[in-house]
């Protein structure tokens, strides 16, 4: 995000929160069950989110973005999470992992061709890195792009790609050179390229978001679609992960907060043994434990957001983002579990936010770097 040195007033942030909350209450929350069962988000919702400026927060105005701090983006994350659907969230924010490498590497023609329509919600974007042979081992990816005249010929597969079926534009990590990180480049690939096909995948959670395996079979892509120089892809992807991990930590904490709110409301309304649930000590202690974890996680996210807004890209901060993403995922898992347990039979029923969030937890804990991978990366950055 291009957000450094932007500071909104408290009044501006409050006004933005109110606007997004109304959007969620009117346009999103009433329909999340329907979209979950359908397995897709209507394209019109992308356009409505784009018209509100949600998709363009923090991106350059010349491409249709809106000047904003990461603190303002955090408000959008928190409010959209109130709908209680991880799949909806993935649909609306996955474009960020396309936009960042496009801004960093793309030619002006590529940016003008893709970014305005994506940030307006007219087009859908995806970033394709993970492969069947190894998700986190980016430096050894196998999808190859062989130069043939004025085209690259792409062969290989990508998998677990969010927005993979319906995206119009894909930023695809390919091997154009030798082995290792230095041989990796990024290509812009449009959905209608001959030799490019997609297979939908079924998942534990995030049902609203389509997820796919991408197949490239002698897919010809113009050399003009190369993003940046050959061999420049790996470093950009690693930098892209930093922003993604902060976003996912914020997402995880926001969904954990939704679980807490649903559990608290239920505890106040539900009566057992002649009194509201909340009058039982064990229930109050569960709620306090949830609040304790939420407060520590939210405080850490706010501190990390301020540091990233200030431009911190140091190794210790990268390590902190890895640990924060893990910590927030664990907070989400714990709060979802406690909420479902407190809700009892209702927590096991479709239509409850906590039930859906419980299914979505592993998507957070695996996506953007699985826990053990992030622990190792953090140890490396800290010199352990």
Q: Please work out, in degrees rounded to the nearest 5, the angle formed at the alpha carbon of residue 82 by the alpha carbons of 255 and 257.
A: 40
- According to DSSP, residue 174 is labeled E
Residues pairing with 161 in the sheet: 212
Could you tell me if 106 and 228 are in contact, meaning their C-beta atoms sit under 8 angstroms apart?
Answer: yes
Residue carrying structure tokens 């470093």: 235
Which helix (H) or strand (E) covers residue 199, if one does?
Answer: strand 196-200
DSSP single-letter state for residue 26: I
- Measured between alpha carbons, how far is 384 from 381 in angstroms, rounded to an integer? 8
Contacts of 25 (CB under 8 A, 6+ apart): none
Task: Give the closest residue to 356 by CA, choosing from 211, 247, 259.
Answer: 259
Question: What region, left, alpha or beta, does residue 378 occupy, with left being phi > 0 and alpha being psi -120 to 50 degrees?
Answer: alpha
- As a whole number of angstroms, the distance between CA 115 and CA 104 comes to 12
Residue recorded with tokens 């996506």:
367
Q: Which of 79, 131, 230, 244 is catalytic?
A: 244
The two structure tokens encoding residue 138? 């980016």
- β-strand pairing of 211-222 with 196-200: antiparallel
Q: Which is it for strands 125-128 and 169-175: parallel, antiparallel or unpaired?
A: parallel
Q: What residue spans of the chain are helical by DSSP H?
A: 10-23, 32-38, 43-51, 70-81, 86-93, 96-105, 108-119, 233-269, 281-309, 315-343, 353-366, 371-381
Backbone angle region of 326, left / alpha / beta, with phi > 0 → left and psi within -120 to 50 → alpha: alpha
12 as an active site residue: the answer is: no
Nearest-angstrom CA–CA distance, 263 and 84: 13
CB atoms within 10 A of CB 81: 24
Q: Which residues are catalytic?
A: 244
């Amino acid at each position: 995000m291009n957000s450094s040195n932007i500071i909104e007033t408290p009044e501006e942030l409050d006004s933005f929160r109110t606007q997004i909350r109304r959007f969620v209450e009117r346009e999103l929350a009433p329909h999340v069950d329907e979209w979950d069962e359908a397995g897709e988000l209507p394209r019109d919702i992308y356009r409505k989110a784009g018209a509100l400026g949600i998709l363009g927060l923090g991106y350059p105005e010349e491409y249709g973005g809106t000047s904003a701090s990461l603190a303002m983006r955090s408000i959008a994350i928190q409010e959209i999470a109130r709908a209680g659907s991880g799949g909806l969230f993935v649909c609306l924010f996955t474009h960020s992992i396309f936009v960042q490498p496009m801004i960093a590497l793309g030619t002006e023609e590529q940016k003008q061709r893709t970014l305005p329509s994506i940030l307006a919600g007219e087009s859908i974007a995806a970033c394709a890195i993970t492969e069947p042979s190894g998700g986190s081992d980016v430096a050894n990816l196998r999808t190859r792009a062989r130069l043939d005249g004025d085209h690259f010929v792409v062969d290989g597969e990508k998998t677990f790609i969010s927005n993979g079926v319906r995206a119009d534009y894909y930023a695809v990590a390919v091997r154009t050179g030798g082995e290792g990180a230095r041989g990796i480049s990024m290509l812009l690939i449009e959905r209608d390229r001959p030799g490019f096909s997609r297979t939908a995948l079924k998942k534990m959670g995030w049902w609203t978001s389509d997820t796919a395996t991408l197949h490239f079979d002698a897919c010809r892509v113009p050399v003009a679609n190369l993003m940046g120089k050959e061999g420049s892809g790996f470093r950009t992807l690693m930098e892209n992960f930093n922003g993604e991990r902060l976003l996912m930590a914020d997402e995880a904490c926001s969904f954990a907060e939704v679980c807490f709110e649903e559990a608290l409301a239920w505890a106040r309304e539900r009566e057992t043994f002649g009194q509201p649930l909340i009058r039982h000590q064990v229930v109050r202690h569960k709620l306090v434990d949830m609040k304790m974890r939420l407060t520590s996680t939210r405080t850490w996210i706010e501190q990390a957001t301020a540091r990233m807004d200030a431009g911190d890209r140091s190794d210790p901060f990268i390590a902190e983002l890895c640990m924060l993403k893990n910590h927030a995922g664990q907070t989400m898992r714990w709060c979802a579990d406690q909420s479902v347990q407190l809700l009892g039979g209702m927590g096991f029923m479709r239509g409850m936010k906590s039930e859906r969030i419980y299914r979505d937890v592993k998507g957070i804990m695996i996506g953007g770097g699985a826990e053990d991978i992030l622990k190792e990366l953090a140890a490396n950055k800290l010199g352990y």
